[in-house]
């Protein structure tokens, strides 16, 4: 049970990293406590988000801050008891979200975002999961006309600057395109370059099957048993202890359970979010629609269902689900999108692994030989899985990386 590399975490980041390392001749074991794609890679809105050039920043407008402070927003809910433990992280997030620093973050993220669709396309073709992916983009919808006109003008500039395809739709054009929509939106922006996945968990499982077909081994195991022993790294699995010269930590929001005992203080937090599936009462959407002002997404999913995904909940990782955001979003979305009965017995709760500087952590650990990190992709884990796997594998195998990896280096937090 000796390997060249052990990858801890079988979400989209870990599976993609394992595949790219395998493609470069490495013998790889992929270890998780569950099956592939069963955490955050399962519950998202299914967007391969080529058009999100600017990261999700801490709001700076006074009106938005006051609305969030009242804790009545659909886009954000925060638990009073949790705020003290998040205070330092939120303060740095606010600092990193200044216009100048946010522009720098956008520049740093552009190479990954720009390559995201192409890297997915390559794995989709190899894995034979094209039926899960749709190339019609998504729609950013607005209630307020002044907001829509302002955002449309800014979006046209950004689209020209970055070579993106964007079509503005007034209210009539929006409803003509998406006949299932009721009244409520005055217009929308149709971003055409992104792709939508009708079952994100199944996509990740499809990539994992490709990994296994290439000779990779998928094992159930406990990442917290990771130890450095005799010049190698060992992990306990259901099949016994395995070892490798190198190990990749790709555990999403749980990555701290491995890196903190090793002495690393990376500011990683989980932005919680919920989803629920509904029967469509008026018909299906053709593309995901984001209620830009209220902060939720309605996405068409496999099996003729609509998935509502919420904004951000700030709460401790182990806190029980509240469902508050889901209830707020459902009240707003039901008449506009024609949501029928709930399908799931209970809301799904997941966590987006986030860093305050809005960049992922990709690269070598600074104090342990053979230890590599790949986590902290904020709201874009699904989008950035394959491109992260490629970049990490290039660094690990001594290839010339397709982009400068320094903005994502773990040592920036030392």
- Domain limits, the chain: 2-41+201-267+356-413
Tens-digit pLDDT profile for residues 223-241? 999 999 988 999 999 999 9
| Number of C-beta neighbours around residue 103 at 10 A | 11
Q: Comparing C-alpha atoms, which of 203, 233, 237 is closest to residue 220?
A: 237
Query: Measuring CA to CA, how many Å separate 69 from each of 76, 227, 298, 302?
Result: 10, 44, 26, 37
User: What one-character DSSP code corresponds to residue 200?
Assistant: H
Q: What is the pLDDT along the chain (414 residues), one digit of tens a residue?
A: 799 999 999 999 999 999 999 999 999 999 999 999 998 889 899 999 999 999 999 998 888 899 899 999 999 999 988 989 999 999 999 999 999 999 999 999 999 999 999 999 999 999 999 999 999 999 999 999 999 999 999 999 999 999 999 999 999 999 999 999 999 999 999 999 999 999 999 999 999 999 999 999 999 999 999 999 988 999 999 999 999 999 999 999 999 999 999 999 999 999 999 999 999 999 999 999 999 999 999 999 999 999 999 999 999 998 999 989 999 999 999 999 999 999 999 999 999 999 999 999 999 999 999 999 999 999 999 999 999 999 999 999 999 999 999 999 999 998
Q: Which CATH number fits domain 2-41+201-267+356-413: 3.50.50.60, 3.40.120.10, 3.90.700.10, 3.30.70.100?
A: 3.50.50.60
Query: Measuring CA to CA, how many Å separate 235 from each of 9, 115, 248, 364?
Result: 12, 33, 12, 19
Please report, in angstroms and rounded to a whole number, the separation of the first and last CA atoms in the chain. Answer: 34
pLDDT of residue 230: 87
Q: Residue 196: enclosing H or E segment and its boundaries?
A: strand 195-197
pLDDT of residue 41: 87
> What's the CA gap between 122 and 18, in Å, rounded?
15
Q: What is the DSSP string of 116-137?
A: HHHHHHHHHHHHT-GGGEE-S-
Query: Measuring CA to CA, how many Å separate 280 from each of 143, 275, 305, 308, 373?
Result: 22, 15, 6, 12, 41
Residues 6 or more apart in contact with residue 356 via CB below 8 angstroms: 89, 90, 92, 93, 95, 96, 267, 269
């Amino acid at each position: 049970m000796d390997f060249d590399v052990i990858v801890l975490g079988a979400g989209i980041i870990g599976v993609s990293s394992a595949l790219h390392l395998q493609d470069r001749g490495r013998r790889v074991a992929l270890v998780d406590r569950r099956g592939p794609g069963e955490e955050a890679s399962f519950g998202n809105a299914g967007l391969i988000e080529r058009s999100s050039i600017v990261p999700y920043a801490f709001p700076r407008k006074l009106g938005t801050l006051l609305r969030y402070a009242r804790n009545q927003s659909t886009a954000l809910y925060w638990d009073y008891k949790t705020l003290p433990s998040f205070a330092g992280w939120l303060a740095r997030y606010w600092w990193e979200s200044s216009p100048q620093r946010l522009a720098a973050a956008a520049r740093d993220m552009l190479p990954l975002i720009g390559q995201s669709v192409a890297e997915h396309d390559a794995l989709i073709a190899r894995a034979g999961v094209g039926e899960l992916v749709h190339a019609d983009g998504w729609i950013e919808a607005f209630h307020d006309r002044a907001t829509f006109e302002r955002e449309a003008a800014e979006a046209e500039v950004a689209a020209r600057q970055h070579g993106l395809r964007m079509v503005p739709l007034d209210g009539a054009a929006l409803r003509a395109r998406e006949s299932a929509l009721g009244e409520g939106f005055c217009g929308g922006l149709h971003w055409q370059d992104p792709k939508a996945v009708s079952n994100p968990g199944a996509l990740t499982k499809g990539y994992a099957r490709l990994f296994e077909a290439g000779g990779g081994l998928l094992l159930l195991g406990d990442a917290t048993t990771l130890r450095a022993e005799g010049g190698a790294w060992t992990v306990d699995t259901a099949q016994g202890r395995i070892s490798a010269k190198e190990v990749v930590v790709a555990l999403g929001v749980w990555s701290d359970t491995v890196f903190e005992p090793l002495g690393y203080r990376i500011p990683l937090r989980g932005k919680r979010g919920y989803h629920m599936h509904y029967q469509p009462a008026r018909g299906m959407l053709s593309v995901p629609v984001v209620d830009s002002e209220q902060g939720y997404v309605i996405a068409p999913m496999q099996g003729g269902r609509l998935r509502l995904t919420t904004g951000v909940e700030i709460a401790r990782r182990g806190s029980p689900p509240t469902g508050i955001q889901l209830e707020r979003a459902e009240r707003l979305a039901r008449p506009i999108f024609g949501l029928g009965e709930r399908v799931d017995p209970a809301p799904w709760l997941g966590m987006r692994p986030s860093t305050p500087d809005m960049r992922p952590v990709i690269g070598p650990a600074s104090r342990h030989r053979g230890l590599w990190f790949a986590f902290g992709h904020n709201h874009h884990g699904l989008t950035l899985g394959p491109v992260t796997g490629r970049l990490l594998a290039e660094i690990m195998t001594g290839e010339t990386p397709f982009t400068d990896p320094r903005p994502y280096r773990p040592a920036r937090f030392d």
